[in-house]
Structure 1
Amino acid sequence: MLDNPEKTTRLLAALKAAAPFDVELAPSLIEYLQAQNVADADRMHHVVWDLSYAGDEGGIICHLSRSE
């Protein structure tokens, strides 16, 4: 869907309208973040407070809150 600019714009707008919302990180992502010494990487549950679009190659980026 991200290769369709019109659908991408609508999807991003819908996600931004839903923010903030809770997400659960996959165990493999948590392991990667811990290996990179990212703060709060030990928590599975986070809150998405904003979103950005980084183009076709970057996709949709979720901005997570640092603490609950």
Structure 2
Amino acid sequence: MALKTRIREYREKAGMKQSELAELVGARRETIGHLENGKYNPSLKLAMAIAKVFHVTVEDLFEFTED
């Protein structure tokens, strides 16, 4: 299974830089970049923090797809 993410879409819609999102959720900018590029699977805590920033559910941000 692969993890598909919509973080970049929500972040850009909010006019936010990766570094700004990272600061809000207590992560590194590189972590946000890896999440957006599908190179990193977030912890539940991080996924929930990002969802809270955008006022959406975790399911709105992440989707598991079959490879």
TM-score normalised by length of structure 2: 0.26
Q: Which has the larger radius of gyration?
A: 1
Q: Per residue, is there more helix in 1 or in 2? A: 2
Q: Per residue, is there more strand in 1 or in 2? A: 1
